[in-house]
Amino acid sequence: MTGTAAESTPVPAVRVPRRRGTELALIVVAVLLSVYGYCEVGLARDGAVPPGAAGYGAGLGVLALLAHVAVRLRAPYADPLLLPIAVLLNGLGLVLIYRLDLETPGDRAAPAQLIWSTVGVALFIAVVLLLRDHRLLCRYAYLSVVTALVLMIVPIFFPAVNGARIWIRIGGFSFQPGEFAKILLAVFFAGYLAANRTALAYSGRTVWRLTRMQLPTGRVLGPIVAIWLLSVGVLVLERDLGTSLLFFGLFVILLYVATGRTGWIAVGLLLAAVGAFAVGSLEPHVHSRVQDWLHPFASIDAGRGPGQLAQSLFAFAAGGMLGTGLGLGHSVLIGFAAKSDFILATAGEELGLTGLSAIFLLYALLVERGYRAGLALRDPFGRLLAIGLASIVALQVFVIAGGVMGLIPLTGMAMPFLAQGGSSVVTNWIIVALLIRVSDSARAQPPPVPGDPEDGRR
Amino acid sequence: MTKYIRRAAALCALLLLALLVNATRVQVVDSKAYDSNPANRRKDIARYDRARGDILVGGRAVTGSRDTGEQLRHERTYTNGPLYAPVTGFASQVYGTTFLEHAEDALLAGTDPMLAPLPLWNDLARTRSPGGKVVTTVEPAAQRAAFAGLGGRKGAVAALDPATGKVLALVSSPSYDPERLAGTGSAVTGAWAALNADPDKPMLNRALSRTYPPGSTFKVVTAAAALDAGRITDLDAPTRSPDPYTLPGTSTSLANEVDGCSDASLRHAFQWSCNTVFAKLGVDTGQDALADTAKRFGFDGPGPKVPSPAARSTFDTATDDAQLALSAIGQYDTRATPLQMAMVAAAVAGGGSVKAPHLVDRTTSADDDIVATTHTRTLQQAMNPRTAAQLRELMTDVVEKGTGTNAAIDGVTVGGKTGTAQHGVGNAGTPYAWFIAWARKPADPEPSVAVAVVVEDAAADRSDISGGGTAAPIAKAVMEAVLGA
C-alpha cells in the first residue's frame, strides 16, 4: 500500500475494490446452480422439468438480488463471497427438501422452508440496512445474555419434542429459541471478553512453575463457571447435547482468542470432559446417543432393523464417489428427521463424496471469510464477534456432520442453511448479515497508521 | 490476538479435515461393507424398481409385473400360476425366488452383465438394464394335459424330448399360485404360512425336488444292465427264475402280483413285471454292473440343473445281495425324481443317449436380442444302442399287450413301463403308481416324447397293474398333446 491520498478525506487511503460485481456474478451462478438442481430432481424422477422450476428460480433470484442491493447500498466493501455462499447453500437446501418432499407426499416442507428463507433474507436486509456499525452491538452485550438466557429457559416449560425440550409451540407455530440465543451469546461473549480480556489474560497464579500454564483467579473464574453451568443446564434440562457443545466450544474458542491463555483451554476442556462424562453416563437420553455412536448396528444385530444412524451411514455409503444423482437416492429410509438433522445424508447419497466435499468446502469458505474479517479488523469486539460468528458455523457443521456420519455421537442440530427448520435458517441469515457488516468494516477501514492506537477509524 | 485467531482458524481447518477424512471413510473405503449390510434395503429397492422380465411358455408370457408404487415397487403376477408353478417357481419380495425365477434371477432382474449395452456400462452409469426374458421349452398343451390328468391328486409329470433333452412338461400336483407370495405385507406372510402348513405340501415341486422309490419302472435300468453285461442275450430265452424267489442270504420270499413268472423269459417278465425274475436278474448281473448302468442313466450323480436344480436320484451301492435284489426292482433305497425316470425313458427312446434335460430354450434381452441359447448336450451313453433297441421292443410289448395297454395311442408306436412302489413301515404307506413311456409317430424315425408320471394315492390297488391303471392314461394324454402339437 502506498499512502498517496490526502489524509483529511474520510475515504480509505487506497481505494479498496468493492467487488460488488463479483458478488452479483457469483449470486447468479448460485441461483442457476440451485435451479439446475431443482430441474435435475424433476428430470430424474419424472423425466420432465418440474412445473415449479421457474417460480422457484425467480423466488430465489429475487431474494438474492434484494439482499445484494441491500449490501450494495449499505455495505459496499463487504466480502463478495459471503452472500453467494449463503444463497447457494440455502438454494441447495430447498432443492434437497423439495426432493425429500416427493417421497413424503403427505408432509411437504419445502414451501414452509421457502417462506422461512424469505423471512431470513428479510432479516438479513434489515440487519444490513439498520445496523450501520457492528460496535453498536457491544453496548447491548448484557441485554443480549439476559435475552439469551430467557430464550433458553422458556422451552423448559413446553413439552419435549422427540426427547428434547428445545421447542416453543404456540398454536401451529413452533420455533427453537436456542437458535437465536447463539447469536446473542456470541455478541455477549465478544463484548464481555473485549472488555475484560486484559484482566483475564494477566491475572491468576502459576500452577506448574516449569510451564507457562497459569490458572485464573477465583474472581474471574466466575463467568467461565457460569457458562459451564449454563451448558450443562441446557444439556440436562433440555437434553440438547448439540447446543450445549456449541455454546461451550464457542466460549472456549473466544476465550482463547481473547486471552491466548492455554490455561483457560485446559480448564475448559477439563470441565467439558467431566461434564460430558457425567451426563453421558447418567442421562439416559444422552447415554443412548453415545451407545448408538459406538454401536450403530446394534439394533440390526438385535433384530430390530437399522436405526437412524445406521440408515444415515447406509445413505452416505450408497452415494460413493459420485452419488446416485439428485432424486435417485433412498435417504428417505432414514425416516424421521431426514429433512432436518439428517439432510446431509441426502446430499451425501445423491451428490456423492464429491458433492459432499464441495458442500463442506462452501462452509469452510464461509468460515474462512469470517476469520479473515476478524483478522483484518482492529477493534477487539469486532474481531471477537467475527471469530465467534464464524466459529458458530464451523462448530455447528462439525457437530452435526460428524454426528450423522458416525464421527462423534449424534446430537440434534440443524445443518446451517441446508436443513429444514425456520429458526435455523433465519438465524443463519442473521449470522451472514453480521459477517457482511463486520467484513464491510474490515475492508473499508483505512490502512493502519503507525503510532495510531488500536481503533483508527473515525 | 492475531496469532490466536490463526490458531483458532487452524482448529477449524482440523475439524474440516476430520470431516473430509471421515466422509472418505464412509463413502469410499467402507462403503462396500455398508452397501452389503443385509439391513440396507437399497439393493431390494433397486431390484424391484423395474418390472421383472417375463418367463415365456409357448411364445406367451406366463408371468407379469404389477406396479404397486410402493417401496419395493414391482410385484410378480402369474397367468395360470398353479399350472406353471413347478416351472417358474415364485419371486417374492419377502421369501426370495425359487426354480426358474431363482436360476435366471440375474437375467430377469436385469443385473446380468450380458444385458448391458456395453461392458461395464451399468456399473458406470449406475443404471440397470430392463429385465430379460426366459423362453422355456415347455409345450403348453402337454403341460395342461398333465395337470388335468393329475386332476389335483398328489403326483408329478415330467416330459422330455428324447432327442434334445428339452423339458416339454413339468407338472406337480397339488399346486399353488405363486402370485400369492409376490409382494409384501400380511397377505404374503399369511399365504406363506398357510402353504407351508398345508399337509398336501403344494409348494413341493414333486417333479424336480421329490424322490420316490421308482418301483418296477426301474426294471428298465436293470434290464439295460443285464443286456449290456451280456447276462441276457435272447429276450425270449427262459431265465431259470423260481417263483417265489427267496432273497439271497435270507428266508424272505419274494412273490409276484401276476402268474406265469416262473422261469419266464425276459420279454414275458418285462411285459408282466415279474419281480422275481428282475430281483434274480439284478443279483446275477451284479452290483457293480447295475450301479454302473444306473449311474450312466443319471443316478447317484449330482441332480441335473435344468437350470433349476433337481434332487439327486440314488441307487444304493453299499448293499448285500438281498438288498440288491430289492434295489433291482426299484425298492429298498433306490429313489428317483420323476424327471430322472423321464430321462430313463428318454434314454431308451433316444438310442441309449442321455441328453441333459433343460427347461430354458433361450434367454433374450427385453428387446428380444438373444443373450444365451441352450444347446443339446449329451450327458452319457447309458447303454449300447442295440440294448436300447431291445428295450424299446420290450417297452412296446408292455403297451401293446402287457400292463400298460392304457397308454396305447392309435397309429403311434408307444413303449412304456408300469410300476407301483410300496413304501412306509411294512409297506403301509399309500403306494406310488408309476408309468414311464415314450412315443414315436409312424412317420418319424425316432420317438419325439418321453414321459414319466407318478401318482401318489393310487386308489389303494396294490397290484402292479395300478401304474397302468392310474398313471398310464396321464402319460398317454401328455404324449398325445406333444404329438398333436
Please state the separation of Cα A221 from the chain's center in Å. Answer: 28
The single-letter code of the amino acid at B328 is A
pLDDT level of residue B1 (50, 70, 90 thresholds): confident
β-pair partners for B420: B433
Q: Is the pLDDT of residue B55 over 90?
A: yes
Please state the separation of Cα A147 from the chain's center in Å. Answer: 19
What is the average pLDDT across A137-145? Answer: 89
pLDDT digits (tens, 9 = 90+) for A149-182: 888 888 878 777 766 677 777 766 677 887 888 8
Q: What is the pLDDT at residue A196?
A: 81
Q: What is the pLDDT at residue A197?
A: 80
Q: Is the pLDDT of residue A108 over 90?
A: no
Positions of B marked active-site:
216
- The C-alpha angle B143, B148, B151, rounded to 5 degrees, equals 130
Q: Is the pLDDT of residue A9 over 50?
A: no
Q: Is the pLDDT of residue A360 over 70?
A: yes
- The C-alpha angle B215, B217, B220, rounded to 5 degrees, equals 130
Cβ atoms < 10 Å from Cβ of B145: 25
Q: What is the pLDDT at residue B123?
A: 73
* pLDDT > 70 in chain A, percent: 85
Q: Is the pLDDT of residue A338 over 90?
A: no
Entry field: residues in chain A: 458
**Mean pLDDT (chain A, rounded):** 84
The lowest-confidence range among A212-226, A371-385, B344-358, B409-423 is A212-226
pLDDT digits (tens, 9 = 90+) for B284-315: 998 899 999 999 999 998 889 989 899 999 98
Which residues make Cβ contacts (< 8 Å) with residue B352, sequence separation at least 6? B381, B382, B383, B384, B385, B387, B388
CATH code of the region B215-359+375-484 = 3.40.710.10
Nearest CB to A256; choose among B2, B8, B38: B8
Answer yes or no: do B37 and A300 touch at CB < 8 A.
yes
Instruction: Name the residue in chain B with its Cα closest to that of A381.
Output: B1
Q: Which of A45, A104, A313, A455 to mutate to test the interface with B (most CBs of B within 10 A)?
A: A313
Please give the Cα distance from B365 to A383 (Å, whole number).
Answer: 67
Residue B243: name the closest of B275, B198, B214, B211 by CA: B275
Please give the Cα distance from B390 to B385 (Å, whole number).
Answer: 9
Instruction: Name the residue in chain A with its Cα closest to that of B40.
Output: A314
Answer yes or no: do B23 and A375 touch at CB < 8 A.
no
Q: Is the pTM of this model over 0.90?
A: no
| Strand, coil or helix: A430 | helix
Residue B136: name the closest of B62, B42, B25 by CA: B62
β-pair partners for A206: A214
Q: What is the pLDDT at residue B390?
A: 93
Nearest CB to B42; choose among A260, A321, A330: A330
Answer yes or no: do A314 and B16 touch at CB < 8 A.
no
What is the average pLDDT across B57-75? Answer: 91
Q: What is the pLDDT at residue A5?
A: 43
Answer yes or no: do A314 and B40 touch at CB < 8 A.
yes
DSSP of A366-414, one letter per residue?
HHHHHHHHHHH--SHHHHHHHHHHHHHHHHHHHHHHHHHTTSS-----P
What is the average pLDDT across A75-88? Answer: 95
pLDDT digits (tens, 9 = 90+) for B180-217: 999 888 999 999 999 999 999 999 999 999 999 998 89
Which residues make Cβ contacts (< 8 Å) with residue A404, sequence separation at least 6? A309, A312, A316, A341, A342, A344, A345, A410
**If you search the block for the grid coordinates 444304493, which residue do you land on?**
B316
Q: Which of A252, A353, A397 to mutate to test the interface with B (most CBs of B within 10 A)?
A: A353
Q: What is the pLDDT at residue A164?
A: 66
The single-letter code of the amino acid at A333 is L
Q: Nine-digit cell at B132? A: 430379460
Residue A217: name the closest of A258, A267, A269, A253 by CA: A267
| Cβ atoms of residues B359 and B167 within 8 Å | yes
Q: Which residues of A touch B27 (CB under 8 A)?
A: 316-317, 319-321, 348, 352-353, 356
Q: Is A387 on the interface with B (CB under 8 A)?
A: yes
Q: Is the pLDDT of residue A233 over 80?
A: no
Q: Is the pLDDT of residue A189 over 80?
A: yes
Please give the Cα distance from B42 to A23 (Å, whole number).
Answer: 41
B411: alpha, beta or left? (left if phi > 0; alpha if psi -120 to 50): left
| Torsions phi, psi for B274 (to 5 deg) | -75, 115
Q: Which residues of A touch B29 (CB under 8 A)?
A: none
Instruction: Name the residue in chain A with its Cα closest to that of B5.
Output: A257
Answer yes or no: do B12 and A258 touch at CB < 8 A.
no
Residue B100: name the closest of B89, B85, B113 by CA: B89
Instruction: Name the residue in chain B with its Cα closest to that of A311.
Output: B40
Q: What is the pLDDT at residue A210?
A: 47
Residues A444, A448, A452, A453, CA torsion sign: positive
pLDDT digits (tens, 9 = 90+) for A286-296: 788 888 899 99
The single-letter code of the amino acid at B179 is E
Entry field: residues in chain B: 485
pLDDT level of residue A6 (50, 70, 90 thresholds): very low
Answer yes or no: do B22 and A407 touch at CB < 8 A.
yes
Q: Is A180 on the interface with B (CB under 8 A)?
A: no
Cβ atoms < 10 Å from Cβ of B32: 11
Q: Which residues of B touch A260 (CB under 8 A)?
A: 1, 3-4
Q: Is the pLDDT of residue A205 over 60?
A: no
Answer yes or no: do A375 and B2 touch at CB < 8 A.
yes
pLDDT digits (tens, 9 = 90+) for B139-166: 999 999 999 999 989 999 999 999 999 9
Answer yes or no: do B23 and A348 touch at CB < 8 A.
yes
Answer yes or no: do A317 and B23 touch at CB < 8 A.
no
pLDDT level of residue B427 (50, 70, 90 thresholds): low
Which residues make Cβ contacts (< 8 Å) with residue A56, sequence separation at least 6? A34, A35, A38, A94, A98, A114
Please give the Cα distance from B95 to B101 (Å, whole number).
Answer: 12
Q: Which residues of B touch A258 (CB under 8 A)?
A: 1, 4
B356: alpha, beta or left? (left if phi > 0; alpha if psi -120 to 50): beta
Q: Nine-digit cell at A66? A: 434484494
Q: What is the pLDDT at residue A206?
A: 55
What dihedral angle (degrees, nearest 10) is formed by the CA atoms of B9, B15, B17, B19? -150
Q: Is the pLDDT of residue A429 over 90?
A: yes
Q: Is A302 on the interface with B (CB under 8 A)?
A: no
pLDDT level of residue A208 (50, 70, 90 thresholds): low
Q: Which residues of B touch A189 (CB under 8 A)?
A: none
| Cβ atoms of residues B89 and B170 within 8 Å | no
CA distance A45 to chain B (A): 12
CA distance B94 to chain A (A): 15
Q: Is A71 exposed, middle or buried (0-12, 13-18, 19+ CB in 10 A)?
A: buried
Q: Which of B5, B72, B73 to mutate to test the interface with A (most CBs of A within 10 A)?
A: B5
pLDDT digits (tens, 9 = 90+) for B245-258: 888 888 888 888 77
Domain spans of chain B?
Answer: 215-359+375-484
Residue B111: name the closest of B135, B125, B93, B128 by CA: B128
Q: Which residues of B touch A387 (CB under 8 A)?
A: 5, 8
Q: Is the pLDDT of residue B90 over 80?
A: yes
| Cβ atoms of residues B56 and B108 within 8 Å | no
| Cβ atoms of residues A176 and A423 within 8 Å | yes
**Mean pLDDT (chain B, rounded):** 89
Q: Is the pLDDT of residue A204 over 70?
A: no
Query: On the CB side of A339, how many CA atoms lie within 13 Å of its CA?
Result: 20
Q: What is the pLDDT at residue B463?
A: 54
Q: Long-range contact list for A3-7, CB < 8 A, 24+ apart?
A: A3/A447
Q: What is the pLDDT at residue B116?
A: 84
pLDDT level of residue A231 (50, 70, 90 thresholds): low
Answer yes or no: do A317 and B35 touch at CB < 8 A.
yes
Q: Is A368 on the interface with B (CB under 8 A)?
A: yes
Q: Which of A360, A383, A410 to mutate to test the interface with B (most CBs of B within 10 A)?
A: A360
Q: Long-range contact list for B287-291, CB < 8 A, 24+ apart?
A: B287/B317, B287/B319, B287/B324, B289/B225, B289/B228, B289/B229, B289/B231, B290/B221, B290/B222, B290/B225, B290/B315, B290/B324, B290/B327, B290/B328, B291/B315, B291/B317
Please give the Cα distance from B76 to B177 (Å, whole number).
Answer: 11
Higher pLDDT, residue B165 or A146:
B165
* pLDDT > 90 in chain A, percent: 44
Residues 21-40 of A with CB under 8 A from B: none
Q: Nine-digit cell at B70? A: 410402493
Domain spans of chain A?
Answer: 20-444
Q: What is the pLDDT at residue B460?
A: 47
Residue A77: name the closest of A412, A444, A423, A408 by CA: A444
Cβ atoms < 10 Å from Cβ of B89: 25
